[in-house]
Structure 1
Amino acid sequence: MTQTAEIPNTQFYAWKNYRCAYEHYSPDVGEDRHSTPLLLIHPIGVGLSRRFWHRFCNAWYQSGRTNPIYNPDLLGCGESDMPHIAYAPADWAAQLQHFLQTVIQKPVILVVQGALLPVALETVQLQTQPNLIQKLVLASPPAMALMTQPTGVRKQKFTWNLLDSPLGAAFYLYARRPQFLSSFSTRQLFANTEQVDSEWLDLLALGAANPASRHAVFSFLAGFWRQNYREAIAAITQPTLVIIGDRASSISRNKQDTPERRLADYLKCLPHGEGVKIAGRNVLPYESTSKFTATLAAFENTKLTAQ
């Protein structure tokens, strides 16, 4: 039996004296309480938060799936607290590890969008016994060059200090204008420009309404996530699915970074990886929701082959 997922009420938990928000989807119809929950990691960008996943969550349950879904806002985003700090992947990973241990309290399939992959990798590294991450799904991960060639600490701090200024605050006001968001989404995110519509732009406008949300975005732009994660990727013992868009693009200057090359790079590095290329560009759970959902469901059905 299929059903439409109503967006659940926002719930909150405390982490390091911060108030952190999340949604817990727990379908009533035909729920298999033994099914593995999904834990979603949303991307960072102007106006982005857990709301990025709403279209996917609805499609997941319409397809007949019954897994519980946990959809948190990372600190600095959505309805979570927005302290004025420079956020590193390790900070968000510690938040998610606390969420796993105190709220979910059971193994999950971790699904991460885009360049938040370092947060997923840091979260995997925090696992002890029992390991609370059963499988991983990497949706539109960055080019391997971006994941293995760090930017210098001095450059990161310089960029952060430049953005964390009145000039940066003014830039954020400009960047959250509908015209800018539409142009950026068309140029960098979507293969089908018709999907850069009022639904998408309203989602971003809502998320960017609080100017304090700029600190998470500026942390991302400063490149604190740009470290060498090759060994961390190679150390993943869990089955891992990589989903790449057939029109995936990158900020990498490497012209050889085709979707096929990107997929091959990850599969070469992952000990227990498999990969799929589907139609779309860089925001597959939103742009190519049906195909992404079906691909993830097929992976969720497969038996564990590694621990």
Structure 2
Amino acid sequence: MLEDWSGRITPEFVSSLEDNEIFVFGCRNSGRHWDGASAFALKHFDAVFGQCEGRQGRSYAIPTIGGTIGLKEIRQSVMQFTQYAAEHPELHFLVTPIGCGGGGWKTCEIAPLFRNASRLQNVSLPKDFWAELRRPWFWSLYRKTFDLSAYAVSAIKCIYGAMLHRWMKLLPSRILYRVLVRCASWNEELDLSEGFAWTKRFMCFYPKSTWSRYLLNHKTRRAYMVVDDNRKITIVRPKDIDWDSVSALPDKVRELIRKRTAKYDFSIYDYNGGVAKVVWQVSPDGSWYYQDKLGNGPTTDEKDIRLYGYIDTKCRFVEKLHT
């Protein structure tokens, strides 16, 4: 019963510690204690900036976010913590709801990892963790079945979205225009003058739809898919690139050009006399994309590299892409 654990429930807010108490908090795998419980531990409980795991002063860190951190890695860290707590019965560990704030994990995902730790009399857990641990064994099976069903529905929706985009890629320009106009409420449209518009079609069940871009010609009632749902620039062909001008670029950048990948930005600017300027940002400026790898990467030293060209009213290049 929960009442039996009343003496081992971590307070919702720990403002101070007894001499034998240790503050257990979740942090980034980089050890940068910038916010949440990790910042509080850094300020009040002797946490060490740059240390992502283990005992540090009057606190103990468990990495829950950043890089390749997943439940498997968190489980291993919790096992190490449990062993440490078992070896130090003279200390009392106040475990905060690690990973359930900025880490983005659910209580039902993190709490079961502390089942062995909950058997130690010198470990206190949050009230929500205790409530999760007291659930009957079949509750976990039910939740896993529910999550699996939700995942299957999500996968089916993504497959449907991918098939829909493949179908749209094959449509004649006049029919594609009708499809996009009928779904105008889902679109974000930018006027390019002379009857042209730069738009995207967003489908909430298919996240990759945000990458697609279309050029609309309202005068002729035609539409052209410019960037597809895999970030490939469909209107650019090898013959549309001035390969001599890009020959001196880094290999990685030339590979993106060869694959015609709109990894960062591909834009069409206002039409003037039936011709529009195209700007393709192939490589980022390091000062802009300082955390380019899933938000946790090192500062990049890449240059800001862009290609420029011009297209006509049917998305055909009248001037090749060049640096």
Max Rg structure:
2
Between Structure 1 and Structure 2, the one with more strand by share is 2
> Normalising by the residue count of structure 2, what TM-score does the alignment of the two structures yield?
0.27
Q: Which has the higher contact order (CA 8 A, sep 6+)?
A: 1
What TM-score do you get using the length of structure 1 for normalisation? Answer: 0.29
Higher normalized helix content (fraction of residues): 1
